[in-house]
Amino acid sequence: MLQIAKDSFVVIEYTLRLDDGSFVKGEKTPASMNFVAGYDQILCALENQLIGLEQGEQKELVIPTGDAFGERDQSLIRTMALSGFPHGRDLEPGRWAIAKNEDTGAQYGYFVIEKSDSTITVDYNHPLAGKDLYYSVKVVLVRPALTEELAILRPCEHGEKQVEGE
């Protein structure tokens, strides 16, 4: 049987819990995820613990806070003028929202902590920051990644090509 290694196409089923036993994913039925190993498509610490497993294997994994999403960073909790946020957005306390950087196109999430008539306090920390992650994983499929699957993961080649005879 093939083991999970770089360039393997992998499908896993998993549940994800926190210290208190609460489920993040897969409470009723396991969640499913597929990825090509070695290309930072999933949490590095999770992938590192999956390397070497074979199809059909099951494993309990713990990803400590520092290897997951890090500690909560108080500097990522900010109070700003409400006028700086797009009109019409549902910015109620206790809700997650997505923002887009107009210059880069990057999207990022934030949690609305508090809102007044003139200010809003938001938390840009990842929702799982400050938490250890407990995975129960079953490896459903391991096979060599197809050329087409690898092609979309590799950076585009650029630069000038030399043509013979020039």
Residues 92, 113: one domain?
yes
Please state, in angstroms and as integers, the Cα–Cα distance from residue 57 to each residue in 16, 38, 49, 50, 79, following that order: 17, 19, 12, 10, 47
pLDDT tens digits for 37-86? 999 999 999 999 999 999 999 999 999 999 999 999 999 999 999 887 76
Residues 18, 54: one domain?
yes
pTM for the model stands at: 0.79
**CATH of residue 137:** 3.10.50.40
CB-CB contact of 54 with 139 (8 Å): yes
User: Nearest Cα to 9, choosing from 156, 151, 157?
Assistant: 151
For 125-131, what is the mean pLDDT?
A: 95
Please state, in angstroms and as integers, the Cα–Cα distance from residue 92 to each residue in 95, 96, 97, 121, 132, following that order: 6, 9, 10, 11, 28
Q: Whose structure tokens read 């007044």?
A: 116
